[in-house]
Amino acid sequence: MTDYSHYKRYNQYGITDVTYYFVRDIVLDPSNIKEHYVNDDNYEYGYSLFNQDEDEIWENYRTFRIMINKCNFDYCFMMYKIILPPTLEYADEFDMTKDVLDWLKKDNEDQIFNIYAISIVDEIINRYEDYINDIYNNTTAKKIALMKLRRNKIVNEGIILKISMMRCGLF
């Protein structure tokens, strides 16, 4: 049985912010960044970070529904007052309004939620760009390793001292 108690943390956010933080947590998940992040200017990287496989779209939406139920939020209010307006705005930019309206008619709320998530992923990526690059390039582990070497007395008086003397021109 899956433990959903970690969803209770979303109760601390206002009802208008919950969806943003939910999407942010999915996008900034380190395993998601390592698996889906594409560092290419010609590629819509937000599209890849919010898991575009059909099963993953459904899974993200299902997880969202579970979170809404566990936190006792009003699903209809969130879906139609918070998620739908930015989704329609984003869809209008890319001439997808007809698609969103078709999804509304067919009750494909998972697709609507997915478009909403993609609409805010760019903002999330811009805000947390350093964090994403650290995880993608694994620079945090390298920084920690270098800091440990610099604190080590044997290394400082050995190889680092020789390299410093070599670079300054003594040898």
Q: What is the pLDDT of residues 112-130, one digit of tens each?
A: 988 898 888 878 888 888 8
- pLDDT band per the 50, 70, 90 thresholds, residue 40: low
CA pair distance 23, 3, nearest whole angstrom: 19
Better-scored residue on pLDDT, 112 or 150: 112
Mean pLDDT, rounded, for 131-139: 77
pLDDT at 45: 46
Cβ proximity of 130 and 139 under 8 Å: no
pLDDT at 98: 93
CA pair distance 133, 136, nearest whole angstrom: 5
